[in-house]
Structure 1
Amino acid sequence: MSEAAGTASRGAILPLYAAGFVTAFGSHGIAANLGFTGDLGEQLVTLGILLALYDGAEIVLKPVFGALADRVGLRPVLLGGLFGFALASAAFVLVGNPALLGLARFAQGAAAAAFSPSAGALIGRIAPSTGQGRAFGGYGAWKGLGYTAGPLLGGVLVAAGGYPLLFTVLTVLAIAVFVWAVILVPDPPPLPRRRQGLGQALRGLADPGFLPPTLALASSAAALSCGVGFLPLVGASDGLSPVATGAAVSVLAVVAAVSQPIVGRIRDAGRLPDRTALVVGTLLTAVGLAVPAVVGHLVGLLVAAAVIGLGTAVITPVAFAVLAAWSPPERIGQTMGSAEIGREIGEAGGPFLTGVLAAAFGLGGGFLGIAVLVALTAFGGLRVRRRTV
């Protein structure tokens, strides 16, 4: 690839990174601040459900929009989703009824189900085959930044102007990314698709090129979501200030954001085998989740945040690169949409399970339980392989 072509490719990918930030910020910027209204902060199961609401729409609709993108084109579905996200956010502000917050979140999740897998699939189509790890590392870094910085930025906006201000900012952000994508993101034509029966589709979901990286993505998303949603509650139970707990979440964000592009470059250079990355990354993530169960106070929070951030940073770019290499090009939208079900199940189910376990056994027990479940998924990484032609 020439230098000019490489520069154009990087320029086209940047709006896709921004789209990843929008969906992550929209998810956690709202959900993390629901726990500070009324007595919800004391109701761990309720908090877990509220953290999962946005993701429910994504779980149902991402495969649908991914398959649609393969048929009509990735760019139209990307742009339609961004516009729909802006519309859902603006509608909440214009209606001005706080009781519709849940409906607005579901509508935002439905729109994100369109543009999120399309963004990932476009990166797979646009980025050179020798730079997939680095490209997905940047994408994962910006999504991780949205997940982890969202609670802090969302809290500031809610404190300054309530939910209307937060939804106004989300509207402006989505419109800005929409315009940016219109200008720079190319429109690769849909590729001819071979007929695929139900049996073939089901076998594809169980294939070692699809299931292990998807399972790893689910584990990393569960850990990230639990870290953002429950580490502040651990700090609060130890008497730490919101500033201290916010710092712990910020450490998670910084470690994940800085590390993912580095991991991607190492993987592209052939110095990090895919199997090793997925197994080690998953085990690191599990260790980070277990830390709050044995080490308390600020030190425990900071160590947990750093290790979770590093573990997810190892998993994310490698898992997406494996999926892009495994997927038939004409079905990459469907592949990414199906794979992101795993992420959303992890992101929704992780906090819910942690909340249930924490309600029964305390916060330490909740973290230890989810750490064991994540550690068990590391065995899947041993089966990862690329599609053979």
Structure 2
Amino acid sequence: MTGPPAAQRLFSPAFIALGVAELAYFTAVGVSIYALPLTVTGPIGGDEAMAGLAFGAFALSALVLRPVAGRLTDTLGRRPLLLGGALTAALSLALLATAGDLVTIIALRLLAGVAEAAFFVAGFAALADLAPPARMGEALSYNSLGLYLGIALGPPLGEVLVGVSGFGLAWIGAAALAVVAAGLSLLVGETREGPPPAKADRRIIHRPAVPISLGFLASLVPIGGFLTFAALQAEAVGSVAASAPLLVYGGVVVVCRIVFARLPDRVPPLALGAAALVTIGIGLALIAAWASPIGLVLGTGVAAIGVAFSTPAFFGAIFATASPSQRGVASGTASAAIDLGLGLGPIVLGLVAHAAGIPWAFVVGAAVAAMGALWTLVLLRRTGASARSQANLPT
């Protein structure tokens, strides 16, 4: 039995408004993905390691605040954190237009981490509220289009804005997009179901999500490094446009999320997550081994296929462990892996790139993905063993 049609409706006005708000927010992020490393290695006069540090600095504040944001999302509601996160992002992006040194950039990236914690956690909790349980994987696939379209469209937009009037215009344009995201957040409304959790159940860590989040982390460390160094690798191999691999990356993810939107609801999430990690590793290894524009584009496309399925797989497994009153804290716990991955990835792989070259950073990223696949398969085996044990209990 599939339930009444109303209970299975996915594309409600609030669901669509949430997706468009995230598109505006992550297009702003996409502009920064293009502009930040080039700003640091250009006008600021830094090197690859400094670019990685600046890129990943936001994760320090986001990591600390993400679990707190999850609990606030469950107690105060989803909309206040969506609105506050978008407006804080707008402030940090606008101020980057005036930053003239690395210390100032890092401070503003820390402020961006505050915005990321609030907006991202509240967005995923709202998504879980709005999606029918039987269509959670499909909802995650469609909802994430905003993120990946933003990553696809933001870098070319940033490149155009820089070409028109320098980096200052790129940062102002990104800030304007974040303001648009704030306005759209008001249209989402409050999606929290029922009363806030009781005081006795106000933990900031959702423990069942932790082992699964480690597998998710293994997909994010290499991708954090890829996002940081894709434009620099494109320049190193003679690509026509430095933003080309980022455009390919976002475009492939978007196409896969649309074409295979229902797959995450039909495949065990941990099995899908392990396959996604293997695919990411193959793509990054190909980029490292084939130092040419063709190798970069092909490897990016393969890695992007893995990314297309990693987030729906791991978040689907995590939300399956959470009740409605735990969705915020589950989202906060799981998305802390995003901070660690997108923060540690650029920093650690930036050090590798500085010491041995950018291709070796991709090699290390591929190794991390492979280890994550092994860990996820262990979790899958444990889950299967637990299910068999429960089935054999006397009734």
Partner of 1:28: 33
Residues 76-85 or 310-319, more deviating? 76-85
Change (3 A) 1:172 1:293: closer
TM-aligned CA deviation for residue 345 of structure 1? 0.8
Q: Contact 1:34–1:50 at 8 Å: present in 2 too?
A: no
Change (3 A) 1:215 1:104: same
For normalisation by structure 1, the TM-score amounts to 0.86
Change (3 A) 1:185 1:23: farther
Q: Contact 1:15–1:185 at 8 Å: present in 2 too?
A: no
User: After the TM superposition, which residues 122-201 of structure 1 pair with which residues of structure 2 at under 5 Å, given as runs?
Assistant: 122-189=126-193, 191-194=195-198
For normalisation by structure 2, the TM-score amounts to 0.85
Amino acid at match of 1:226: G
Choose from 285, 299, 315 the match for 2:294. Answer: 299
Q: Does residue 50 of structure 2 align to residue 51 of structure 1? A: no
- Measured against aligned partners, the alpha-carbon deviations of 1:339-381 in whole angstroms (never above 9, x if no partner) come to 1111111111112222222233332322212211221011232
Amino acid at match of 1:85: A
- Measured against aligned partners, the alpha-carbon deviations of 1:261-294 in whole angstroms (never above 9, x if no partner) come to 44431122x2x22122011000110111111232
Change (3 A) 1:264 1:212: farther
Q: Secondary structure of 1:335's match?
A: helix
Partner of 2:234: 235
Partner of 1:221: 220
- Measured against aligned partners, the alpha-carbon deviations of 1:159-197 in whole angstroms (never above 9, x if no partner) come to 323343223222321222222221243442553425568
Quick one: distance in 2 between partners of 1:4 and 1:323? Answer: 21
Choose from 362, 366, 373 the match for 2:368. Answer: 373
TM-aligned CA deviation for residue 127 of structure 1? 0.9
Amino acid at match of 2:301: A
Quick one: distance in 1 between partners of 2:361 and 2:223? Answer: 14
Consecutive unaligned residues in structure 1, runs of 5 or more:
none
Quick one: distance in 2 between partners of 1:201 and 1:174? Answer: 27
Change (3 A) 1:51 1:73: same
Quick one: distance in 2 between partners of 1:171 and 1:235? Answer: 26
Q: Secondary structure of 1:308's match?
A: helix
Aligned residues: 377
Choose from 103, 106, 110 the match for 2:110. Answer: 106
Residues 356-365 or 289-298, more deviating? 356-365
Quick one: distance in 1 between partners of 2:354 and 2:276? Answer: 28
User: After the TM superposition, which residues 199-218 of structure 1 pair with which residues of structure 2 at under 5 Å, given as runs?
Assistant: 204-205=206-207, 207=208, 210-218=209-217
Choose from 281, 284, 292 the match for 1:286. Answer: 281
Change (3 A) 1:276 1:56: same
Q: Contact 1:20–1:139 at 8 Å: present in 2 too?
A: no
- Percent of residue pairs identical: 24
Consecutive unaligned residues in structure 2, runs of 5 or more:
391-395
Amino acid at match of 1:159: G
Q: Contact 2:280–2:307 at 8 Å: present in 1 too?
A: yes
TM-aligned CA deviation for residue 153 of structure 1? 2.2
Q: Secondary structure of 1:191's match?
A: coil
Choose from 64, 78, 82 the match for 1:78. Answer: 82
Partner of 2:393: none
Q: Does residue 117 of structure 2 align to residue 117 of structure 1? A: no
Quick one: distance in 1 between partners of 2:199 and 2:236? Answer: 56
Residues 62-71 or 357-366, more deviating? 357-366
TM-aligned CA deviation for residue 90 of structure 1? 4.3
- Measured against aligned partners, the alpha-carbon deviations of 1:324-344 in whole angstroms (never above 9, x if no partner) come to 222121121111112111111
